[in-house]
Structure 1
Amino acid sequence: MSQISHTINTLNLFTLCTRYTLLWLCVTQFVCGSGAEGETNNVIQKDAEFDVTYNDTVTSENQTIYAFNHTVSRNKTEGVRVFVDVLSQGFESPILFVVRQKQAVVSFQVPLILRGLYQRKYPYSHVGRTLCQPPTRAASETQYFFVDVSTLSSLGTNYQLRVSRVESFTLQTDKKFSFTASPSQPQYFKYVFPDGVDTVIVKVNSEMTFPCSVMSIQDIQCPVYDLDNNVAFIGMYQTMTKKGAITVQRKDFPSNSFYVVVVVKTEDEACGGPLRFYPLRPDELIDAGNRSKFIDVIVTPAINSEVYVMGMLFCLGIFLSFYLLTLLMTCKTQASPYEYGSFGKLWTQSLDSVGRSRQESLSSVEEDDYDTLDDITSDKNIVRTKKFLCVSDLSRKDKRILSKKYQIYFWNIATIAVFYALPVVQLVITYQTVVNVTGNQDICFYNFLCAHPLGALSAFNNILSNLGYVLLGLLFLLIVLKRDIVHNRALVRNDLNALECGIPKHFGLYYAMGTALMMEGLLSACYHVCPNYTNFQFDTSFMYMIAGLCMLKLYQKRHPDINASAYTAYACLAGVIFFSVLGVVFGKGNTVFWIIFSVIHILSTMLLSTQLYYMGRWRLDAGILRRIVYVIYTDCIRQCSGPMYIDRMVLLVMGNIVNWSLAAYGLIERPNDFASYLLAIAICNLLLYFAFYIIMKLRSGERIQCLALVCILFTAVVWGFALYFFFQGLSTWQKTPAESREHNRDCILLSFFDDHDIWHFLSSIAMFGSFLVLLTMDDDLDTVQRDKILAF
């Protein structure tokens, strides 16, 4: 068997040598062939030495071969670097240098012509190339290589040749190494994984923003792709200005080693630099100027499996502690307006009665049966024109009708979530696959200094930190379910407090809010699989949903009869998401888009303000403009009367001022991140309405109970810290990938989580707290008659 293997290896070696011989003969015949029939070329072979500069002249009639030999040791790796300078300016007939060595042939012409954008050509007369070292199994052996110099120019061309050893060719762990590179003089170095280290982070830094560079990680093989036009052929690579970082795992490199290649690009457009002028002629050569860049590289061990486990346990521990706290509070709560008991006891005793009640409420009515009662049909407009409205005036519809109406919010958002999430998951898996297969790390905008891979995922920590949205959203659903069960028990008992007191209990919007929070976690995790500008809307879509549902819930508390239907609400939110996509695709610098959006924004604000002010009595139809003019004439010009509903007018005036200001800001500044701008509009309106609600609640003589007050203070503090970490800006898809990496920073928590992960933790807690505020802020009214609770 060993004899067969030896024979096969001998045949392979013979075949390989034959191929290189034929290649060399072809190159020699093509480049150095006879200039005229019967004319022969002179081939001069010289024994050459390292670190000696050879000044010589080459023409089409002679060819020079420099023969080098050096001793290669298995336990020591050193590089060999070839430097060439052409002293003549003969661009029409360049000199061809061919380096023949064991298992590799490297050829390049000087002047070296590198192409940039739009095929612009940049000549370089000074070239430096590093030769890869073929592997050796012997403890020590002598290897030969040859540098062949030839040209087709009949005139003599002067050149200088120097071959040197690169003593510091192997990078050391945790030891910074500095060097200089340029487009015609790329650099690469070898790194060998030490024992016990399976993952490392290769960090490249420079004080110079430009020239733009490319950092590449390649397997140990010959040849090495170290030019601007081929560096992306194999391995992993990313563009860089001041910072670059790539996480490398031992399992991806069978030889337990790899090359770190740094190439300076001929142009800076890939890194966000200025676009250079167009050449006057297609074949015009452009002077690239001095594009040398001083660079530091350091290889540090990445975290081990214990840190992964600690990070996952920490994440689970934080959010499961909220479950424990909720369980303790539930167990300690013995009485409430509806006689709250333990959750387990309530579940077992009342599930049957709740099911019967819900079945009865959903089987005997339809959502379209609004206003079928005669009293509502006859006096609806009269009731809503009262100067001081009470909740009882706006909760006259059958509770079964409203219960079904608001349950549609939950079922609709659940359906939307399924159909939205499935293609999103498929798309981000495709993104991650493309990154892993092509090695192009400019596709995704990670914080590369704190991106910990797991399996096929490049940044597992950014995905894990979204777990809080899912767990806390589920916890909120359980809390709402508990309240729903308690309330239905009270209705079954015909409890007067449940029937006639407090804010009417409708839980459909709460269920929708909890589902939206869980979906925000899932879609945010999907976005962070490969964050970029094309899928940023995945991270924000359900944020719009959450903001819209919270505003609807606030309005529903005091206006249960006239709140928007689920179909209308989700249709409006779909319009918002539609504009979000248009803004991401077409909004950047597009004046027409911003004008159209600002006009729609202002008109929507005015129409919604009118609808809110007149409590649903204002019809949105073809005659709306005529009625607006009539109201302005009668109320403001003819009678000069003040607004009948001063509180509502103050809120709507402030709301219009805020929204008009935001529209003006967008039209003037035209921010690149349109999705975040749109989300800021939604959040500003939500905060404005929430502040109005709290102020009006206190003005009406109501109070905020201790639990709700604690939730408000706790949530406000957490939101403050969360926004601090959000604005750290570790990466941004609004810039080029290289510019985004300038903002990358190291992990700050457990060596596993970065600032944005902490934003995920805190924002999920803050949203959960905000939901609890909406759930508990009116608990003080549970024993107050509804005809004594003001609507505002």
Structure 2
Amino acid sequence: MVLRSCWKSRHKTSRGAAVRPVLPAALLWFCVTRLACAGGALAETNIVVQKEAEFDVTYNDTATSENQTIYAFNHTVSRNKSEGVRVSVDVLSRGLESPILFVVRQKQAVLSFQIPLILRGLYQRKYPYNHVGRTLCQPPTLVASETQYFFVDVSTLSSQGTNYQLRVSRVESFTLQRSHHLKCSDRIYRVPYCHYRFSASCSSRLSAPFQCPVYDLDNNVAFIGMYQTMTKKGAITVQRKDFPSNSFYVVVVVKTEDEACGGPLRFYPLRPDVLIDAGNRSKDIDVIVTPAIKLEVYVMGMLFCLGIFLSFYLLTFLMACLENKRMKRRECLIPADVSPAETGKIPASPYEYGSLADNGSTLSSEAVTDSATSTDIYGYAERSLDSVGRSRLESLSSVEEDDYDTLDDIDSDKNIVRTKKFLYVADLSRKDKRILSKKYQIYFWNIATIAVFYALPVVQLVITYQTVVNVTGNQDICYYNFLCAHPMGALSAFNNILSNLGYVLLGLLFLLIVLKRDVIHQRALLRNDLNALECGIPKHFGLYYAMGTALMMEGLLSACYHVCPNYTNFQFDTSFMYMIAGLCMLKLYQKRHPDINASAYTAYACLAGVIFFSVLGVVFGKGNNVFWIVFSVIHILATMLLSTQLYYMGRWRLDSGILRRIVNVIYTDCIRQCSGPMYIDRMVLLVMGNIVNWSLAAYGLIERPNDFASYLLAIAICNLLLYFAFYIIMKLRSGERIQCLPLVIILFTAVVWGLALYFFFQGLSTWQKTPAESREHNRDCILLQFFDDHDIWHFLSSIAMFGSFLVLLTMDDDLDTVQRDKIFAF
């Protein structure tokens, strides 16, 4: 019905009769269009010329609004041979009124572009190209040989004549070989690409599916396939399963601006409609195809990873067997419930049991005494056998952590006990053992709860990241070492994830070692072993369990981070590193100060604040003066407050009068009396700690490092190393010794830490720069063709952390037979 009305209207118009339109406007437009396509009256004003054209011939012609030229080409296509065809167009006229439209019609695709070709850059800046070269894809054929036709249509709406040159030529070396050279043009926008057919293995480089049309412009190259930006180096791992046609195209596009790859921004145009000359931009690229690793390499990598860490289990099992044999031999010689003093053994050193008095009435170590009169030059007081043999029975009453009412006032007044010039572990281990044990077990349960609620959304997020990468093909999202990124399933870099297995396995092994020690200690307490009750550093294992759990979580979250490493999820990799550093410092302090160590709630609240600042630093720290000033002030104030807490053993309170009291102490103790500090050792540690932290704060304020999370982690590690060195020095100064096993572990751990840091600072990728700049640091695998430098960092750092934990666990084993009132607190 509609067509009939259209034809009726045209018939009356041809006779000159006035016809009043009775159809809607859209319907009338449809009729006119149909008539024009059918060769009606409107088509008579536009002359269509079709020319039989040949390859490698330059056609000079003129395009106007009154004519349309069609160039017809034909060529032979073979099923087993890939052949490229390039259409090159040059417009010779300047100041075009309207662009020229070129349409290339192929068997299974239509390619169109205009001259000048306008591409947009940053801030929508426009770059015109009057010289364009486009490469045509080859439609697949099922027969051995076939003649295919394609047409190049040239048209314009410009009323003025526009001169142009058209040349169609075959592309030599269109099939990608093992090594292939591509040259991107300068002022001519020419997009080179080539075809690669899979052999028996996978290959790497920039890729798009083998189908028509091929998206090869700057504004559409990311529509299909896998893509990435690059400057000097780049790599893409291509898997056969992603290309059902068993082949793909490699497309290289020179971007209009260098800002996308991290280059400088040249200028910002005042008017967005101004056309900017793109300048002389050229690039030579060598495309190298290398076979992907075989399944055997994957198997060898996994076996190597498991073998390294399971060997630690085997070594631990052998040492445990030797230790059990030694303990059984010792139990045969000395009953477990008899002290060395009761066997008549002469103490080998003053660290065993001190001189024994016959009257059994000497002062207990829990009494408050003047250190100048009750100790000798080393601060050692003699104890009677009765006071040594007295067991501290656990209270059955329900007592809070800080409740001292169950003891005599003079024995429980912490302000009197802690002001002694020489403090001993017995002075700071006066609380009920059951209460302290529950207090430190909270560390484990809290970190287990934190781990669950932290890890679940992290796993969900990184799965989403990996899915986005796989679906969109945008490999600029994740900062891999693309030259050594081996995929498995949906994971793009399986080797970086596998290498984190050491943290989990060694963390679990440390938990088993701690559990064994915990069981042995509990059995000793049940049989009232005097060594367990009265000697050595008080055994509290809650922090050890928390440290092992943190090490396992570090492995899990580091693996999650390496699923798709970038700046938005880097805190996943560092959060539990802060936890580990903080827990190690707390454990060092707890060894000599079990009664006054921080509670789990306070400790985790402080660590949460550290992680909070880490996130703020990553998001807002780059170039933000206000953030760095605020952080530096908070850092210095926190260092001073912590120093005051450590120096006065908690005998101070934070309130409005804190500044006035500090001034009074400085005036009375330093200026008025001109006396030195009462606790020299603590003062030396705190002065050094403040110097280090103030220096780090000044460095951050001046340099403002881009990687704020690593800077914050460096602060934590420096403080941990400083306190650990102080602990070792003070232990040796106090006449204590380090046994052979912990000494060997210390030396081994120090060597492993040195090697680990060497590989860490290789810097194979960095999210502080653009993805293209990060790829400049990519390197090939160096171990078993499967692991890179960062994977070796994972191996070595997990072993070093495990060794560090063992040092904390065993370094005071020499004090297991020494009374606590003869062990210095420092």
Same fold, judged at TM 0.5 (above): yes
Q: Any gaps of 5 or more consecutive residues in structure 1?
A: 1-20, 179-187, 194-208
The equivalent position to 1:283 in structure 2, one of 253, 265, 273, is: 273
**Does the 8 Å contact 2:352/2:819 carry over to 1?**
no
Q: In 2, Cα distance between the equivalents of 1:516 and 1:66?
A: 71
Cα pair 1:334 1:342 within 8 Å, conserved: no
Deviation at 1:108, TM superposition (A): 0.7
Is this contact kept in 2: 1:215–1:237, CA < 8 A?
no
Aligned pair in 2 of structure 1 residues 215, 75: CA closer, same or farther (>3 Å)? closer
Query: Please, which runs of 5 or more residues in structure 2 have no aligned partner?
Result: 1-25, 178-184, 320-342, 357-380
- 8 Å contact from structure 1 (residues 220, 255) kept in 2: yes
Change (3 A) 1:358 1:380: closer
SS at the partner of 1:301? Answer: coil
CA change 1:293–1:36 in 2 (3 A) is: farther
| Contact 1:351/1:485 (<8 A) preserved | no
How far the C-alpha of 1:63 sits from its partner, in A, is 2.0
Change (3 A) 1:337 1:436: farther
The offset of 1:366, in angstroms, is 4.5
| Structure 2 equivalent of residue 93 of structure 1 | 98
Larger Rg: 2
Distance 1:787 1:356, change over 3 A: closer
Q: Distance in 2 between matches of 1:568 and 1:749?
A: 44
Alignment correspondent of 2:355: 342
Summarize the Cα distance change of 1:531–1:756 in structure 2 as closer, same or farther, 3 Å threshold: same
Taking a change above 3 Å as real, the CA distance of residues 264 and 551 of structure 1, as seen in their structure-2 partners, is same
Secondary structure of the corresponding residue to residue 349 of structure 1? coil
Alpha carbons of structure 1 residues 723 and 331: separation in structure 2 relative to 1, 3 Å: farther
Task: Pick closer, same or farther for the CA change 1:213–1:448 going to 2, 3 Å.
Answer: closer
Partner of 1:160: 165
Give secondary structure in 2 for the equivalent of 1:244. coil
The structure-2 alpha-carbon separation of the partners of 1:142 and 1:341, relative to structure 1 and needing over 3 Å to count, comes to: farther
Q: CA deviation at 1:501?
A: 1.1
- % of aligned pairs identical? 90
Greater Cα offset, 296-305 or 209-218: 209-218
CA contact (8 A) 1:217 1:236 kept: yes
In the TM superposition, residue 569 of structure 1 has moved relative to its aligned partner by 0.6
Deviation at 1:500, TM superposition (A): 1.1
Residue 313 to residue 210, structure 1, CA distance change in 2 (3 Å): closer
In 2, Cα distance between the equivalents of 1:415 and 1:348?
46
Asked if structure 1 preserves the Cα contact closer than 8 Å seen for 2:204 and 2:237, the reply is no
Give the drift of 1:351: 31
Kept in 1: contact 2:201–2:291 (CA 8 A):
no
- Cα–Cα, structure 1 residues 727 and 53, in superposed 2: closer, same or farther, change >3 Å? same
Structure 2 counterpart of 1:324 = 314
What's the CA shift for 1:368?
5.4
| Displacement of 1:397 | 1.2
Q: CA 1:452–1:371 in structure 2 vs 1: closer, same or farther (change >3 Å)?
A: farther
User: Using a 3 Å threshold, how does the CA distance of structure 1 residues 357 and 570 change in structure 2: closer, same or farther?
Assistant: farther
2:560 and 2:382 mapped to 1: Cα distance? 38
8 Å contact 1:390–1:788 — kept in the other structure? yes
Q: Which deviations, in whole Å up to 9, do the C-alpha atoms of 1:567-593 show, x marking residues without a partner? A: 111111111111111111111111001
| Counterpart contact for 1:503–1:778, Cα < 8 Å | yes
Change (3 A) 1:233 1:38: closer
Match of 2:71 among 61, 66, 72: 66
Cα offsets for 1:37-60 (capped at 9, x unmatched): 796222222211111111222222
Query: How is 1:740-759 mapped onto 2 (pairs within 5 angstroms)?
Result: 740-759=774-793
Q: CA deviation at 1:635?
A: 0.9
Q: Structure 1's 467 and 336: CA in aligned 2 closer, same or farther, altered over 3 A?
A: farther
Kindly state the Cα deviation for residue 36 of structure 1 after the two structures are TM-superposed.
Answer: 12
- Asked if 1:416 is matched to 2:450, the reply is yes
Q: Whole-Å Cα distance in 2 between the matches of residues 781 and 733 of structure 1?
A: 48
Q: Relative to structure 1, is the Cα distance of residues 235 and 499 closer, same or farther in structure 2, using a 3 angstrom cutoff?
A: same
Instruction: Tell me, in whole angstroms, the C-alpha distance in 2 between the residues paired with 1:450 and 1:422.
Output: 28
Q: 1:247 to 1:38 in 2, by over 3 A?
A: closer
Q: Which moved more, 1:497-506 or 1:719-728?
A: 497-506
Q: Relative to structure 1, is the Cα distance of residues 348 and 328 closer, same or farther in structure 2, using a 3 angstrom cutoff?
A: farther
Of 276-285 and 112-121, more deviation after overlay is shown by: 276-285
Looking at structure 1, the residues matched to 758 and 535 of structure 2 have their Cα atoms a distance apart, in angstroms, of 42
Contact map agreement 1:370 1:401 (CA 8 A) in 2:
no
Change beyond 3 A, Cα 1:672–1:138: same
Distance in 2, Cα, partners of 1:53 & 1:740:
43
Question: Which string of whole-angstrom CA distances, capped at 9 and with x for unpartnered residues, describes residues 56-86 of structure 1?
Answer: 2222222221111111111111111111111
Could you give the per-residue CA deviations for residues 480-530 of structure 1, whole angstroms, max 9, x where no partner exists? 111111111111111111111111111111111000000000110111111
Deviations 1:215-253 (A, max 9, x none): 842111111000001011111111111111111111111
Distance 1:211 1:666 in 2: 49
The answer to whether the 8 A contact 1:170-1:190 is kept is yes
Structure 1 range deviating more: 288-297 or 273-282: 273-282
- 1:712-743, CA deviations, whole angstroms, 9 ceiling, x for partnerless residues? 00000000000000000000000011111111
TM-superposition CA deviations, 1:327-386 (whole Å, max 9, x none): 00099999999999999xxx9999999999999989955545456423476432111111
| Distance of aligned partners of 1:595 and 1:177 in 2 relative to their CA distance in 1, 3 Å threshold | closer
> Which stretch of the first structure deviates more once superposed, 55-64 or 235-244?
55-64
Cα pair distance change 1:211/1:526, threshold 3 Å: closer
2 CA distance for matches of 1:214 and 1:32? 48
Q: Distance in 2 between matches of 1:454 and 1:331?
A: 67
- Following superposition, the deviation at residue 254 of structure 1 comes to 0.7
- The answer on whether the counterparts of 2:444 and 2:545 sit within 8 Å (CA) in structure 1 is yes
Distance 1:603 1:426, change over 3 A: same
Q: Call closer, same or farther: CA 1:274–1:210 in 2, change over 3 Å.
A: farther
Contact 2:353 2:819 in 1 (8 A): no
Give the Cα separation in 1 of the matches to 2:240 and 2:530. Answer: 70
Tell me which residue corresponds to 1:488.
522
Secondary structure (helix, strand or coil) at the match of 1:227 reads coil
Which stretch shows the higher mean deviation, 151-160 or 763-772?
Answer: 151-160
Which residue among 550, 553, 563 is the counterpart of 1:519?
553
With over 3 angstroms needed to count, the CA separation of the structure-2 counterparts of 1:307 and 1:766, relative to structure 1, is same
| The structure with more strand, counted as a fraction of residues | 1
Contact 1:32 / 1:63 at 8 angstroms: preserved in 2? Answer: no
- CA distance 1:507–1:355, shift in 2 (3 Å): farther
> CA contact under 8 A between 1:361 and 1:404: conserved in structure 2?
no
Partner deviation per Cα, 1:634-663 (whole Å, 9 max, x = no partner) = 111111111001111000000000000000
Report the CA distance shift for 1:334/1:242 in structure 2 as closer, same or farther (over 3 A).
Answer: farther
SS in 2 for 1:191: strand
Which of 145, 151, 156 in structure 1 is aligned with 2:156? 151
Q: Deviations over 1:182-208 (max 9, x none)?
A: xxxxxx111111xxxxxxxxxxxxxxx
What secondary structure is seen at the aligned counterpart in 2 of 1:290? coil
Partners in 2 of 1:87 and 1:734 — Cα distance?
45
Provide the rounded CA distance (Å) in 2 between the counterparts of 1:271 and 1:690: 44
Alignment of structure 1 residues 434-583 onto 2, 5 Å: 434-583=468-617
What SS does the aligned partner of 2:253 have?
strand
Query: Is the CA contact 1:213–1:265 (under 8 Å) kept in the aligned structure 2?
Result: no
Does the 8 Å CA contact 1:504/1:557 hold for their aligned counterparts? Answer: yes
Pair 1:348–1:370, CA change in 2 (3 A) = closer
Does the 8 Å CA contact 2:203/2:237 hold for their aligned counterparts? Answer: no
**Equivalent position of 1:3 in the other structure:** none
* 1:282 shift after superposition: 2.7
Q: 1:46 and 1:401, CA in 2 relative to 1: closer, same or farther beyond 3 A?
A: same
Q: Which SS does the other structure have where 2:390 is aligned?
A: helix
Instruction: Give the superposition deviation at 1:789.
Output: 1.0
Does residue 425 (structure 1) correspond to residue 437 (structure 2)? The answer is no
Task: Give me the whole-angstrom Cα distance separating, in 2, the residues matched to 1:356 and 1:521.
Answer: 46
Structure 1 segment 350-749 matched on structure 2, within 5 A? 365-367=399-401, 369=403, 372-375=406-409, 378-749=412-783
| Deviates further, 652-661 or 636-645 | 636-645
Q: Are the aligned partners of 2:56 and 2:168 in contact in 1 as well (CA < 8 Å)? A: yes
Preserved contact between residue 187 and residue 281 of structure 2 (Cα < 8 Å): no
**Over residues 380-429 of structure 1, what are the superposed CA-to-partner deviations in whole Å (9 max), with x where a residue is unaligned?**
21111111111111111111111111111111111111111111111111
Using the size of structure 2 for normalisation, the TM-score is 0.83
Distance change (3 Å), C-alpha of 1:336 and 1:459: farther
1:784 is matched with which residue? Answer: 818
Provide closer, same or farther for how the CA distance between residues 393 and 119 of structure 1 changes in structure 2, counting only shifts above 3 A. Answer: same
